[in-house]
């Protein structure tokens, strides 16, 4: 597999303080992806970041549902929703990108999860699977055809973004060394199975690209 440059994109998913050790919703060893992603980004002409960006009292927070606890699953109008600790609240330090993440080459930052009544895992759609973020249109107008994904977490936002990228017709590759997972009740195995079924390619590290 060779990088083509002009039509390849690195999509960096949610490398934010709250998803790293010490944050409100830490992914184990989440900060270990930062140097990997920084090295990876040096090989790409095009880089896009996503940023979880929740208002206070977001509907996906367990604190918004009295009697519920983090990681409970409830029914909402668009399906099943995992409840999370309050995290990535707009304009808080937890919502900021990890301070060591190299962001200066990013051409676009997609903020997601800012609608109070709906969560958003994917870089392309809210969790209703219908409301677009606008990323697909941006990529098509720029002539970008193949997406490499890295970031947090493998089994949620990376997974949903990768499957949606394939559904929208983009060639899609997940760089495993640049990701870390929550692995909630077997969610990592489920995510890899879904990505494989969707036609997402999986590479282990930089040397295999």
* Residues catalogued as catalytic: 14, 112, 157
From the number of C-beta atoms within 10 Å of its C-beta (0-12, 13-18, 19+), residue 70 rates as middle
Q: Are 125 and 135 in contact (CB under 8 A)?
A: no
**E strand segments, 70-198:** 73-76, 79-82, 108-112, 146-152, 171-180
* Residue with the two structure tokens 């040096």: 42
CA distance linking residue 202 with residue 196, whole number of Å: 8
The token pair that represents 48 in the structure block: 């896009």
User: CA 84, CA 21: separation in Å to the nearest integer?
Assistant: 16
Judged by DSSP in three states, 67 sits in: coil
Helix (H/G/I), strand (E/B), else coil: 176: strand
DSSP state, residue 119: -
């Amino acid at each position: 597999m060779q990088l083509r440059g002009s039509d390849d994109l690195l999509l960096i998913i949610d490398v934010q303080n709250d998803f790293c050790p010490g944050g409100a919703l830490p992914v184990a060893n989440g900060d270990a992806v930062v140097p990997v992603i920084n090295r990876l980004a040096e090989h790409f002409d095009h880089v896009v970041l996503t940023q979880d960006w929740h208002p206070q009292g977001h509907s996906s927070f367990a604190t918004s549902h009295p009697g519920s606890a983090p990681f409970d699953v409830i029914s909402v109008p668009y399906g099943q929703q995992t409840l999370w600790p309050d995290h990535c609240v707009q304009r808080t330090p937890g919502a900021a990108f990890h301070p060591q993440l190299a962001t200066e080459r990013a051409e676009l930052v997609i903020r997601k999860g800012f609608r109070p009544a709906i969560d958003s895992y994917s870089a392309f759609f809210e969790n209703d699977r219908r409301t677009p973020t606008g990323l697909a249109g941006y990529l098509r107008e720029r002539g970008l055809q193949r997406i490499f994904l890295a970031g947090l977490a493998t089994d949620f936002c990376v997974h949903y973004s990768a499957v949606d990228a394939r559904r929208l017709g983009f060639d899609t590759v997940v760089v495993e060394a640049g990701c870390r997972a929550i692995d909630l009740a077997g969610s990592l195995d489920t995510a890899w199975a879904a990505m494989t079924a969707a036609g997402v390619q999986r590479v282990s590290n930089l040397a295999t690209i």
